[in-house]
Structure 1
């Protein structure tokens, strides 16, 4: 579904990514892991039209999306959930969902909200509450729900587990798996919690200093003890 080929990208004259290749299919969770500052978020920004692409190609369902604007990319079926500022704190939960579904007509909006709330029933009692009053886990659930309002075929999540307590983290992980298993959505998961990411991924990419040093099955990466110890600090934890 998504094919990133020989991508070189960055911001202005600042070159961040070097010859990156990545694929994500429907009903697949692909994790992107690596040390802080390795270029993981820049990869998502490049796919969503928020970074400068110097060379290479990005195609989605056969459509080349290099140079397309974020709102155009969103309309063809890609949702991007950034790590920060991913909800409107001063708006209610219901207003946030309506804002996310702005391209839908009235009936589609209502039907889609009902579908999304059935997946995230924890949000239903809070529809009239301002998003800024929710807990960290509830806000993350709302952010994912907002991404689903656009009826995407691919969702990109940037550090969705950051700062969450273990119990809440587990609930968010369950919802991410549901996106794949129940909705047949492709998921690209950028996550600093490499252990959690590898547990639920179908394939994984390890990026270090803007370059891909591994791509394959999570089990294959876990067999590369030198890689996981040197770049992820996971020795004795897996």
Structure 2
């Protein structure tokens, strides 16, 4: 569920918010894969944050990394090139299908980030790259707490998201007929939520918009304990 930009809110009859999110990404998976096959839209600051995350993971004893909300797996090659050992999980089975075709040797699973199918302390790091944007508080805290559970003490978190306040609604996300909600957070606010969810924040970063309407926020943190 690595929605870099096109997300909004809809009112499909009887579906919960996360069911709508799953349905939109399932429908959008082929178009998303064609539009965003890799990290070509990421800016130098974005890549620097990914590099810092991987460097910190490599400084720990566990180099396994969970790409949480991995979408079509476009982050996997970058993570591998930086020396960590990634796995992926996403809410959308359609996106996971794309990821498995892209990276057939990688362990990909389908799950909500609030209910992960991994044992405690399974990873040395977790990256949630624009995948927490579909969770508002308190669900955001639930997801961050679950990410902390599957990360070893001292392990590393990096999350990227749109900076701002409130919810936003974009219709026809990724060219589909679906809509879904995404929330914006100031980096320090998201860092504070992480602090209450089992993490110690080590950096909060904000970069100005380049090709998008919102500033982009990043939080780097370490698993407490």
Shorter-normalised TM-score: what interval? 0.3 to 0.5
Bigger helix share: 1
Q: TM-score, normalised by structure 2?
A: 0.35
Structure showing greater relative contact order (alpha-carbon pairs closer than 8 Å, 6 or more residues apart): 1
Report the TM-score, using the length of structure 1 for normalisation.
0.33
- Bigger radius of gyration, 1 or 2? 1
